[in-house]
Every structure is written in C-alpha cells, then in structure tokens.
Amino acid sequence: MGFAWVSRWRGLHGNTRGVLLVMLAMGCWSVLDACNKQLMAQGLAPQQVLFLQASVVLALWAPVWLATRGRVLHSRRPWLHLLRACFIVTSAWCAAYAVSHLPLADASALLMAGSLFMLPLGVLLLGERPHWLRWSGVGVGFGGVLVILQPGAEAFQPAALVALFGALMEASLGVVLKKYSGTEHPIAVLTWSQVACWCTFGALSGFALPVVPANLWPLLPVVAVAASGIYLGYFFAYRAGDASAVEAGSFSLLLFSPALGALFFAEQPDTAFWLGAGLLVCGIALVIIEPKGHAR
C-alpha cells in the first residue's frame, strides 16, 4: 500500500509534485503567521518573536545534529548559505512586520507576490524557459495583487509596501535555494537559515528571550514544527521542479490564511480581497498548466 503511494507520487510530473509540496509549506506558513500574530498581540516586537522562533526551531533540531555528530550540517557551498541568510533575515522581518500591521489574509496575499517575481528571476538567473501560459499567469496574478492593494485609495500604506518587498526577498531566496537544493542536505539549509535569524534578531533583542504568557506556551512547539515545515517543503519542491512553476503553489495560502484570520482574530476580508484572490487563483491555474510539447 505504502509502496503504491510512493510510486504514484514519483509518477507525477516534477512541477506538479513541487506545487503540492509548496502548498504543504503554505499550510505551515499560515499556521506560523497566526501564531506569530498571536504572540505580537501580547506586545512582543517582531524582532523578539523572530528571535524566539529561531530559538525553538534550533532546539527542535539539536538532537539530530548530536545524533549525526554534525554531519548533516556540512556544506559544500557555504557562500550560498551566507547569501541566503541576507535574504531570509530581510524576508522574515518584512513578513512579521506585515502580519503585525495588516489583517492576516491581506498580509498573506501580498507576500504571495513572490510567486510573480519568481518567473522573471527564473529566466534571468536560472536559465528557465517558461511557456506563454506561465507569463499569462503572472500577469493575471499581478492584477490580483493590484485589486487587493486598491491603488489610489491609501492602499500603498507602508505595511503593504514592506510586504511586497518581503515577497521580492522571498523570490530571491528561491533562486538561491534552487542553486543548491540538489547538493545540500535539507537539514543544513534549515539550520544555517535559522542560525542567521537567531544571530540577527537576537542582536536586535539583546539576546533576551521574550516573556511568553503561560497560556501561550503550547504555541511554541507549533511554531517550531510549522517553521521547519516551510523550509523542508520548499527545499524538496525546488528539487522537484522549475522554480517559476512550483512557486505558484504559494497562492494556496489564500485557502488557509482567511480561515485562520476569521477563526482566531475575527477578521473578515472585504470584497476587493476576494476579487483579487480569484485572480490569483486563476494565475496559479495558468502557471501549472503544461501545454503539449512543454511537459517534461
């Protein structure tokens, strides 16, 4: 039974597997954003929450480092980890800032714009050759972002612009990850990324862990597992398919964030959000379609 499931999974097109893995990562991302928003509602600053997040993730994986005597942390291309660290620190802060200043659904929708940036970056930096449907999907998806932002009506507030810049940093992360996903161990990628966050946001927080109310302690293991799921999902997704194709799976965040926002924060997205979300979903459909002669 298990072998049949594995065979079916391996029989899927690489881009399809990648999109599904990114959708799994998006489920983890929506949970992480909801947890972080809950923590910041207690008065914690974004850098404190990110320092706490990196701390619990590193604590989760410490037994694996010890069991393997550090072998999983070995890297053949350490300079790529350093470059990725710069992008991830910026992206993480932008995401936390956006989540703390915008409704969860709106922040998530804007952060998903990284999928739109990935297509031109994939062409310029990764040598990918996307078909015309992917380009059409990017155009439709960008239209969805504009509908959500509602330009001209105080829409381009600082938090929205920060979210879009974070999306660009997230796409840059994808380019670097695609470069080394075939040679680096996934635990090494996850660990060194979190070490960068721990050092940066620890310095900004004075390396003092914030005081978390006892009733929110159950969130900490959820934060550790959800953050790890994002990294591992993206790692194997980029290993499976084209970066410009699998990134479209991030639009699935629209399925999770509004539900969590309504459930935990009483947020109700407006009509503009749902219209924009519809365009983003149409964009992902166009991106993942493989015309005859293009499917590999």
Whether the CB-CB separation of 130 and 245 falls below 8 Å is answered with yes
Residue 93 gets the label, from left (phi > 0), alpha (psi -120 to 50) or beta, of: alpha
Percentage of the chain modeled with pLDDT above 90: 23
Q: Which span out of 71-80, 118-127, 132-141 was modeled with the highest average pLDDT?
A: 71-80
pLDDT at res. 296: 45
pLDDT in tens, 148-162: 766 554 455 788 888
> Domain coordinates of the chain in residue numbers?
15-288
pTM of the model: 0.77
> At 226, is the pLDDT very low, low, confident or very high (cuts 50, 70, 90)?
very high
What b/e string do you get for 52-65 counting C-beta neighbours within 10 Å, with b at 16 or more? bbbbbbbebbeeeb
Look at residues 7, 9, 5 and name the one whose alpha carbon lies nearest to residue 236: 9
Is residue 55 scored above 90 in pLDDT? Answer: yes
Query: Span 164-192, mean pLDDT?
Result: 82
pLDDT in tens, 188-214: 889 988 999 999 999 999 999 999 999
Is residue 220 scored above 90 in pLDDT? Answer: yes
